[in-house]
Amino acid sequence: MSIAILADIHANLEALTRVLEDMESRGVRRIVCLGDILGYGPNPRECLKLLFSSEVAILGNHEEAVMFYGEDFNPKAREALEWTKDQLNSTAHERTENYDLWNFLSTMQQVVEDGDVMYTHGSPRIPTREYVVPADSRNHEKMAGIFELIKRVCFIGHSHIPHVYTSDMKHASPDALGGAIDLRKLGDRKILINTGSVGQPRDGDPRTSYVTFDGNIVRFHRLEYDVQTTVDKIYAEPRIPNFLADRLLVGR
Protein backbone atom coordinates (compact mmCIF):
# COMPACT_ATOMS: atom_id res chain seq x y z
CA MET A 1 0.00 0.00 0.00
CA SER A 2 1.37 3.42 -0.95
CA ILE A 3 2.25 6.08 1.57
CA ALA A 4 2.45 9.84 1.15
CA ILE A 5 5.61 11.50 2.44
CA LEU A 6 5.26 15.19 3.28
CA ALA A 7 7.82 17.70 4.50
CA ASP A 8 8.06 21.38 5.36
CA ILE A 9 4.37 22.27 5.50
CA HIS A 10 5.21 25.48 7.39
CA ALA A 11 1.69 26.20 8.58
CA ASN A 12 0.40 26.59 5.03
CA LEU A 13 -3.12 25.24 5.32
CA GLU A 14 -4.09 25.79 1.69
CA ALA A 15 -1.09 23.82 0.42
CA LEU A 16 -1.58 21.01 2.94
CA THR A 17 -5.29 20.73 2.16
CA ARG A 18 -4.50 20.49 -1.55
CA VAL A 19 -2.03 17.67 -0.92
CA LEU A 20 -4.48 15.76 1.27
CA GLU A 21 -7.14 16.07 -1.42
CA ASP A 22 -4.72 14.78 -4.03
CA MET A 23 -3.76 11.86 -1.81
CA GLU A 24 -7.39 10.94 -1.37
CA SER A 25 -7.96 11.01 -5.14
CA ARG A 26 -5.10 8.51 -5.48
CA GLY A 27 -6.43 6.24 -2.74
CA VAL A 28 -3.45 7.03 -0.49
CA ARG A 29 -4.33 7.40 3.18
CA ARG A 30 -1.10 6.64 5.03
CA ILE A 31 1.08 9.65 5.88
CA VAL A 32 4.68 10.06 6.90
CA CYS A 33 5.50 13.65 7.91
CA LEU A 34 9.16 14.67 7.82
CA GLY A 35 8.83 17.71 10.05
CA ASP A 36 8.49 21.48 9.96
CA ILE A 37 4.72 21.43 10.11
CA LEU A 38 5.19 24.74 11.93
CA GLY A 39 6.96 27.99 11.18
CA TYR A 40 6.61 30.87 8.71
CA GLY A 41 2.94 30.30 7.88
CA PRO A 42 -0.40 31.51 9.28
CA ASN A 43 -2.17 28.26 10.31
CA PRO A 44 -0.02 26.24 12.73
CA ARG A 45 -2.89 24.82 14.78
CA GLU A 46 -4.90 23.69 11.80
CA CYS A 47 -1.94 22.02 10.10
CA LEU A 48 -0.90 20.18 13.25
CA LYS A 49 -4.42 18.86 13.74
CA LEU A 50 -4.67 17.64 10.16
CA LEU A 51 -1.48 15.62 10.65
CA PHE A 52 -2.39 14.00 13.98
CA SER A 53 -3.11 10.83 11.99
CA SER A 54 0.43 10.57 10.57
CA GLU A 55 1.89 7.10 10.99
CA VAL A 56 5.33 8.69 11.40
CA ALA A 57 5.86 12.27 12.62
CA ILE A 58 9.45 13.50 12.44
CA LEU A 59 10.81 16.40 14.48
CA GLY A 60 11.81 19.37 12.33
CA ASN A 61 13.98 22.26 13.39
CA HIS A 62 10.90 24.48 13.73
CA GLU A 63 9.17 22.04 16.07
CA GLU A 64 12.41 21.77 18.01
CA ALA A 65 12.64 25.56 18.23
CA VAL A 66 9.02 25.92 19.36
CA MET A 67 9.52 23.41 22.17
CA PHE A 68 12.96 24.64 23.21
CA TYR A 69 14.67 27.71 21.72
CA GLY A 70 15.52 28.76 18.18
CA GLU A 71 19.07 29.86 18.93
CA ASP A 72 20.07 29.93 15.27
CA PHE A 73 16.93 31.76 14.08
CA ASN A 74 17.31 35.35 12.91
CA PRO A 75 15.22 38.03 14.68
CA LYS A 76 12.40 38.00 12.11
CA ALA A 77 12.19 34.22 12.13
CA ARG A 78 12.22 34.24 15.93
CA GLU A 79 9.32 36.70 16.02
CA ALA A 80 7.30 34.40 13.79
CA LEU A 81 8.32 31.56 16.09
CA GLU A 82 7.04 33.39 19.17
CA TRP A 83 3.79 34.13 17.33
CA THR A 84 3.45 30.41 16.60
CA LYS A 85 3.91 29.57 20.29
CA ASP A 86 1.20 32.07 21.18
CA GLN A 87 -1.14 30.42 18.69
CA LEU A 88 -0.57 26.99 20.21
CA ASN A 89 -1.26 28.39 23.70
CA SER A 90 -4.22 30.52 22.66
CA THR A 91 -6.86 30.95 25.35
CA ALA A 92 -9.44 31.23 22.55
CA HIS A 93 -9.30 27.43 22.42
CA GLU A 94 -9.97 24.74 25.00
CA ARG A 95 -7.00 23.88 27.18
CA THR A 96 -7.40 20.23 26.27
CA GLU A 97 -7.02 21.09 22.57
CA ASN A 98 -3.87 23.07 23.29
CA TYR A 99 -2.58 20.12 25.29
CA ASP A 100 -3.22 17.79 22.35
CA LEU A 101 -1.14 20.03 20.08
CA TRP A 102 1.83 20.09 22.45
CA ASN A 103 1.49 16.38 23.17
CA PHE A 104 1.70 15.65 19.43
CA LEU A 105 4.88 17.73 19.22
CA SER A 106 6.37 15.81 22.14
CA THR A 107 5.92 12.46 20.36
CA MET A 108 7.99 13.47 17.31
CA GLN A 109 11.23 11.58 16.77
CA GLN A 110 14.38 12.75 15.01
CA VAL A 111 14.92 9.55 13.03
CA VAL A 112 12.58 6.64 12.30
CA GLU A 113 13.64 3.45 10.51
CA ASP A 114 11.21 0.99 8.98
CA GLY A 115 13.28 -1.94 7.74
CA ASP A 116 15.68 -0.49 5.18
CA VAL A 117 13.76 2.79 4.88
CA MET A 118 14.81 5.79 6.97
CA TYR A 119 12.89 9.00 7.63
CA THR A 120 14.43 12.16 9.05
CA HIS A 121 14.19 15.92 8.58
CA GLY A 122 17.58 17.26 7.53
CA SER A 123 20.05 14.39 7.26
CA PRO A 124 20.81 11.15 9.10
CA ARG A 125 23.95 12.73 10.57
CA ILE A 126 22.40 15.84 12.12
CA PRO A 127 18.64 15.29 11.86
CA THR A 128 17.28 18.76 12.59
CA ARG A 129 20.21 20.88 11.43
CA GLU A 130 22.14 19.58 8.44
CA TYR A 131 21.02 20.62 4.97
CA VAL A 132 21.58 18.52 1.86
CA VAL A 133 21.43 20.51 -1.38
CA PRO A 134 22.39 19.68 -4.97
CA ALA A 135 25.80 21.39 -4.64
CA ASP A 136 26.69 18.84 -1.95
CA SER A 137 27.06 16.20 -4.66
CA ARG A 138 30.58 17.60 -5.09
CA ASN A 139 31.33 17.16 -1.39
CA HIS A 140 32.13 13.46 -1.46
CA GLU A 141 33.23 13.35 2.18
CA LYS A 142 29.92 14.78 3.39
CA MET A 143 27.79 12.55 1.17
CA ALA A 144 29.79 9.42 1.99
CA GLY A 145 29.29 10.12 5.70
CA ILE A 146 25.56 10.43 5.16
CA PHE A 147 25.26 7.30 3.06
CA GLU A 148 27.16 5.28 5.69
CA LEU A 149 24.09 5.73 7.91
CA ILE A 150 21.54 4.66 5.28
CA LYS A 151 20.62 1.02 4.74
CA ARG A 152 18.83 1.46 1.39
CA VAL A 153 16.72 4.60 1.13
CA CYS A 154 16.31 7.74 3.22
CA PHE A 155 13.65 10.42 2.83
CA ILE A 156 14.43 13.98 3.96
CA GLY A 157 13.18 17.56 3.72
CA HIS A 158 14.63 20.74 5.27
CA SER A 159 16.16 22.34 2.14
CA HIS A 160 12.74 22.65 0.41
CA ILE A 161 14.37 21.47 -2.83
CA PRO A 162 13.06 18.18 -4.28
CA HIS A 163 16.04 16.14 -5.40
CA VAL A 164 17.52 12.65 -5.56
CA TYR A 165 21.06 11.64 -4.54
CA THR A 166 22.70 8.22 -4.92
CA SER A 167 25.67 6.69 -3.16
CA ASP A 168 27.74 6.71 -6.35
CA MET A 169 27.73 10.52 -6.00
CA LYS A 170 25.20 11.16 -8.74
CA HIS A 171 22.15 13.37 -8.35
CA ALA A 172 19.15 14.53 -10.33
CA SER A 173 16.02 16.65 -10.12
CA PRO A 174 12.61 14.95 -10.26
CA ASP A 175 12.03 16.46 -13.72
CA ALA A 176 15.23 14.89 -15.03
CA LEU A 177 13.95 11.53 -13.78
CA GLY A 178 10.52 11.93 -15.36
CA GLY A 179 8.91 12.53 -11.97
CA ALA A 180 9.56 9.03 -10.61
CA ILE A 181 12.32 6.59 -9.72
CA ASP A 182 12.15 2.80 -9.40
CA LEU A 183 14.39 1.69 -6.52
CA ARG A 184 14.64 -1.80 -7.99
CA LYS A 185 16.88 -0.37 -10.72
CA LEU A 186 19.47 0.93 -8.26
CA GLY A 187 21.30 -2.35 -7.74
CA ASP A 188 23.42 -2.03 -4.61
CA ARG A 189 23.39 1.76 -4.67
CA LYS A 190 21.77 3.64 -1.80
CA ILE A 191 19.49 6.62 -2.34
CA LEU A 192 18.65 9.84 -0.51
CA ILE A 193 15.41 11.54 -1.55
CA ASN A 194 14.32 15.07 -0.72
CA THR A 195 10.55 15.25 -1.12
CA GLY A 196 10.45 19.03 -1.56
CA SER A 197 8.24 21.31 0.48
CA VAL A 198 4.48 21.19 0.83
CA GLY A 199 4.11 24.72 2.09
CA GLN A 200 7.15 26.75 1.06
CA PRO A 201 8.90 25.48 -2.11
CA ARG A 202 12.31 27.00 -2.83
CA ASP A 203 13.26 25.51 -6.18
CA GLY A 204 11.73 28.27 -8.29
CA ASP A 205 8.42 26.42 -8.65
CA PRO A 206 5.67 27.76 -6.36
CA ARG A 207 3.59 24.59 -6.60
CA THR A 208 3.34 22.37 -3.54
CA SER A 209 5.51 19.24 -3.56
CA TYR A 210 5.22 15.79 -2.01
CA VAL A 211 5.94 12.17 -2.90
CA THR A 212 4.17 8.82 -2.81
CA PHE A 213 6.04 5.57 -2.22
CA ASP A 214 4.84 2.00 -2.69
CA GLY A 215 7.99 0.27 -1.46
CA ASN A 216 9.62 0.30 -4.87
CA ILE A 217 8.60 3.37 -6.86
CA VAL A 218 8.86 6.95 -5.61
CA ARG A 219 6.66 9.43 -7.44
CA PHE A 220 6.98 13.19 -7.12
CA HIS A 221 3.81 15.29 -7.28
CA ARG A 222 3.59 19.06 -7.93
CA LEU A 223 0.23 20.74 -7.48
CA GLU A 224 -1.23 24.19 -7.90
CA TYR A 225 -2.97 25.51 -4.78
CA ASP A 226 -4.64 28.70 -3.57
CA VAL A 227 -1.41 30.49 -2.76
CA GLN A 228 -3.00 33.94 -2.74
CA THR A 229 -5.18 33.06 0.23
CA THR A 230 -2.09 32.04 2.20
CA VAL A 231 -0.28 35.21 1.14
CA ASP A 232 -3.20 37.38 2.25
CA LYS A 233 -3.30 35.68 5.66
CA ILE A 234 0.39 36.39 6.21
CA TYR A 235 0.00 40.02 5.15
CA ALA A 236 -2.83 40.34 7.67
CA GLU A 237 -0.63 39.16 10.56
CA PRO A 238 1.87 41.87 11.56
CA ARG A 239 4.10 39.45 13.48
CA ILE A 240 4.81 37.32 10.39
CA PRO A 241 7.23 39.11 8.01
CA ASN A 242 5.72 39.93 4.61
CA PHE A 243 8.68 38.43 2.75
CA LEU A 244 7.49 35.00 3.92
CA ALA A 245 4.36 35.62 1.87
CA ASP A 246 6.16 37.16 -1.10
CA ARG A 247 8.44 34.16 -1.56
CA LEU A 248 5.45 31.82 -1.84
CA LEU A 249 4.49 33.50 -5.10
CA VAL A 250 7.82 32.68 -6.75
CA GLY A 251 8.90 29.51 -4.96
CA ARG A 252 12.06 31.01 -3.50
pLDDT, tens digit only, all 252 positions of the chain: 899 999 999 999 999 999 999 999 999 999 999 999 999 999 999 999 999 999 999 999 999 999 986 566 777 777 888 899 999 999 988 999 999 999 999 999 999 999 999 999 999 999 999 999 999 999 999 999 999 999 999 999 999 999 999 999 999 999 999 999 999 999 999 999 999 999 999 999 999 999 999 999 999 999 999 999 999 999 999 999 999 999 999 999
CATH of residue 97's domain is 3.60.21.10
Our CA angle for 242, 5, 190, nearest 5°, is 115
Of 244, 249, 251, which is closest to residue 81 (Cα–Cα)? 244
Give the C-alpha separation, 23 to 33, whole Å: 14
The pLDDT of residue 103 is 97
State the pLDDT at residue 74: 74
- Which pLDDT does position 71 carry in this prediction? 64
**Predicted pLDDT at 1:** 83
Q: What's the number of domains the chain is made of?
A: 1
With a threshold of 0.85, does the pTM exceed it?
yes
The span from the CA of 201 to the CA of 172, in Å, is 17
- Those residues whose C-beta lies under 8 Å from the C-beta of residue 9, and which sit 6 or more positions away, are 15, 16, 33, 36, 37, 41, 47, 51, 197, 198, 199
Domain that holds residue 31: 3-250
3-state secondary structure of 153: strand
Q: For position 154, what pLDDT does the model report? A: 98
The predicted structure's pLDDT at residue 161? 97
Give the model's pLDDT for residue 109: 97
- Which pLDDT value is given to residue 110? 98
